[in-house]
Structure 1
Amino acid sequence: MAKRTTKSKSKGKSKSSTSKNSIIVVLLAVFIGFYLLEGGWQDWLGPTDSSSVTTQAGENEGRLRVIFLDVGQGASQLLISPTGKTMLIDAGNNDREQQMVDSLHAYGIDRLDIVIGTHPDADHIGGLDRVIDNFEVGAVYMPKIQSNTKTYESLLRSIKNKGLKVKTAQAGVRLDWDEEVSSEMVAPVTISDDTNNMSAVVRITYGNSSYLLTGDAERESEQAMLSSGRELQADVMLVGHHGSKSSTTLAFLKRVKPKYAVIQVGADNSYGHPKQAILDRLAKQKVEVYRNDLQGNIEIASDGMKYYITAER
């Protein structure tokens, strides 16, 4: 088959019109040269890296940013309030210490107003000692349950070296964080000898938006939260215990009624997380699911009315 070509139709040009066109070209060249000399080159060439950052920062003004950091088979959430206050909940495992420091620097963090270690398991507090060593910290919250691990001891040492004292993380604690944002702990409700069920669970509200960050809270803790009568509804929910079958019971899920759920899970884990039963349960409730192992860092921001979701990949 012959190749099809398209030709533009035009009439012959007179010498007069050619002369006019030449004058227009010269004037245009002069105008562009003057524009570039006067510093208009940035607008002409498009935004530079610095102007792109400025635009992004402008877009984030007035927003609550909740960033679910990809720390492999662990958990960590970085919160940045509309007025620039910061909160870090957990910091992944020991092998993610430097990654945590680098990630916080990448987000422009030099101070953490609140640090929460949800419970003493290494995949949640492993990187907190390095974080506390490297950043100015306002307050530290942890539940009243200890561990004999070197990871836990190292964290306590870093807290002591900074002259900080651990505040108790438990249901009913209201965090003094940002006047525009309500931050309240809804668990642990009762004392347990199980570290997961002693997880600090934080509910954040900003305008009409709401988040429930659950740590590794399991069935026992979920039932205690349900029985407590506290408000648990949240549009965004961190799926408990990395998507384990021990968490996210149907009764709890129906009370929370999330629109979006995030599973903090590593691509390679021997636990088989997240469990298919949990994924099916979320799907049946029509919850939109995001996963660190598939999408990297996940940010769910809100201006108090709408959500703005971005993923690294």
Structure 2
Amino acid sequence: MKKRERDWLPVTVLLLTVLLLVLCLVGFDHHEPDGPDGNGKAAESELSTDELQVTFFDVGKSDAILVEQSGYRMLIDTSFDDQADVLLDYFADHGIDTLDYLIITHFDKDHVGGADKILDAMHVKRVLEPDYTVEKKQFREYREALVRNGITAMRITDVERRSLGKASFIIYPPEEKDYDGNDNDLSLVLSLRYGTQSFLFTGDSEQERLTELMERTDLNLHHTVLKMPHHGIKEKNTIAFLETVRPVAAVVTCRNEWWISGKIKRTLNWLGTDVYLTSNGNVVCLTDGNHVEFKQG
């Protein structure tokens, strides 16, 4: 009797089909845990996870400062309304679409002016603000943008401790409700620490607020990097404040060098402090927690 030949081709095709289906199911079932941008992966960054970068934007006599660490990002103030595109262009060029924190130090137009455009264009997770209101156009537009985007800002009334990746920061609210109508002294002040390095962001603090900071027993004012109060404008106690902070570097958010008085320049020189003006271009500070370096341009 003639032995019947085995029909192996259909069996092989069936086995290969089953194997392919299994491989597809395994591959597409992979789940990546949520990252800081909330979409299942960490936001793209050129920084290593052991680096922290602070960018002080060149936006004239106004404040806009971006802090980045391990894919987490915090924007401190938003400059003028007509400077918001400078920030948004930077974010687009660097693939940034999410902010973990937006902090408004106070409601002057050179700090809150671009907030509505930032809120409309970015995914902003948390907004922190001082505890007061004003009757000003930019403030109203900021408030409308919060409502439009379903965001409730947190008003800072007590000392607030937070983290940004591996960095930590403390927000110090003003101790008074009113400073004779001076909004600048209502500024939130942030102390950020990463490893042995520290940054002090002072908003537009003037004389009374600087006195409060120097008298606080829970705040070690000595910091590596100081964002000069009120764009470098001199107060009666600015020299004493600088001698207390003793920064390695000071950044002045200004339109030109004439904002800084000769006495402040001499004091910073005597302290051995390196001075950077945003009028000369973005100031970028990079640290691994042990060493700090600056570049500008």
4+ long deviations beyond 3 Å: 57-61
The residue identity in structure 2 corresponding to 1:275 is S
Q: Is the CA contact 1:145–1:195 (under 8 Å) kept in the aligned structure 2?
A: no
Is residue 261 from structure 1 mapped to residue 250 from structure 2 by the alignment?
A: yes
- The aligned residue for residue 236 of structure 1 is 225
5 Å matches for 1:191-202?
191-193=177-179, 194-202=182-190
Is residue 309 from structure 1 mapped to residue 291 from structure 2 by the alignment?
A: no
Q: Is the CA contact 2:130–2:173 (under 8 Å) kept in the aligned structure 1?
A: no
| Aligned residue among 141, 154, 158 for 1:154 | 141
Superposed CA deviations along residues 190-216 of structure 1, whole A, max 9, x for unmatched, are 332421001111010011010001110
- The aligned residue for residue 268 of structure 2 is 282
Separation in 2 of the partners of 1:182 and 1:283?
29
- TM-score (structure 2 length as normaliser): 0.80
Superposed CA deviations along residues 216-257 of structure 1, whole A, max 9, x for unmatched, are 011111111111212222100000100101377122212211
Give, in angstroms, the shift of residue 170 of structure 1: 4.5
- The aligned residue for residue 69 of structure 1 is 57
Is residue 188 from structure 1 mapped to residue 174 from structure 2 by the alignment?
A: yes
Specify the SS of the correspondent of 1:175: strand
Is residue 129 from structure 1 mapped to residue 116 from structure 2 by the alignment?
A: yes
Unaligned runs of 5+ in 1: 1-56
Separation in 1 of the partners of 2:236 and 2:199?
17
Specify the SS of the correspondent of 2:263: helix
- The aligned residue for residue 191 of structure 2 is 203
% identical aligned pairs = 28
Separation in 2 of the partners of 1:275 and 1:103?
31
Specify the SS of the correspondent of 1:131: helix
Is residue 250 from structure 1 mapped to residue 231 from structure 2 by the alignment?
A: no
Give, in angstroms, the shift of residue 171 of structure 1: 5.2
Superposed CA deviations along residues 62-92 of structure 1, whole A, max 9, x for unmatched, are 10101101111211100001x1100000111
- The aligned residue for residue 27 of structure 2 is none
Q: Is the CA contact 1:248–1:278 (under 8 Å) kept in the aligned structure 2?
A: no
Give, in angstroms, the shift of residue 308 of structure 1: 2.1
Report the RMSD for the aligned CA atoms in angstroms: 1.9
Unaligned runs of 5+ in 2: 1-44
| Aligned residue among 276, 282, 288 for 1:297 | 282
> How many residue pairs get matched?
251
Q: Is the CA contact 1:239–1:248 (under 8 Å) kept in the aligned structure 2?
A: no
Separation in 2 of the partners of 1:76 and 1:139?
17
The residue identity in structure 2 corresponding to 1:197 is D
Is residue 164 from structure 1 mapped to residue 160 from structure 2 by the alignment?
A: no
The residue identity in structure 1 corresponding to 2:63 is A
Separation in 1 of the partners of 2:117 and 2:144?
11
- The aligned residue for residue 214 of structure 2 is 226
The residue identity in structure 2 corresponding to 1:191 is K
- The worse-fitting range, judged by mean Cα deviation, of 238-247 and 217-226 is 238-247
Q: Is the CA contact 1:140–1:167 (under 8 Å) kept in the aligned structure 2?
A: yes
5 Å matches for 1:76-87?
76-81=64-69, 83-87=70-74
Q: Is the CA contact 2:61–2:110 (under 8 Å) kept in the aligned structure 1?
A: yes
Give, in angstroms, the shift of residue 186 of structure 1: 2.6
5 Å matches for 1:41-60?
60=48
Is residue 212 from structure 1 mapped to residue 197 from structure 2 by the alignment?
A: no
Superposed CA deviations along residues 6-58 of structure 1, whole A, max 9, x for unmatched, are xxxxxxxxxxxxxxxxxxxxxxxxxxxxxxxxxxxxxxxxxxxxxxxxxxx66
Q: Is the CA contact 2:72–2:164 (under 8 Å) kept in the aligned structure 1?
A: yes
Separation in 2 of the partners of 1:87 and 1:215?
15
Separation in 1 of the partners of 2:236 and 2:277?
16
* Alpha-carbon distance change, 247 to 84 in structure 1, aligned in 2, over 3 angstroms: farther
Q: Is the CA contact 2:256–2:277 (under 8 Å) kept in the aligned structure 1?
A: no
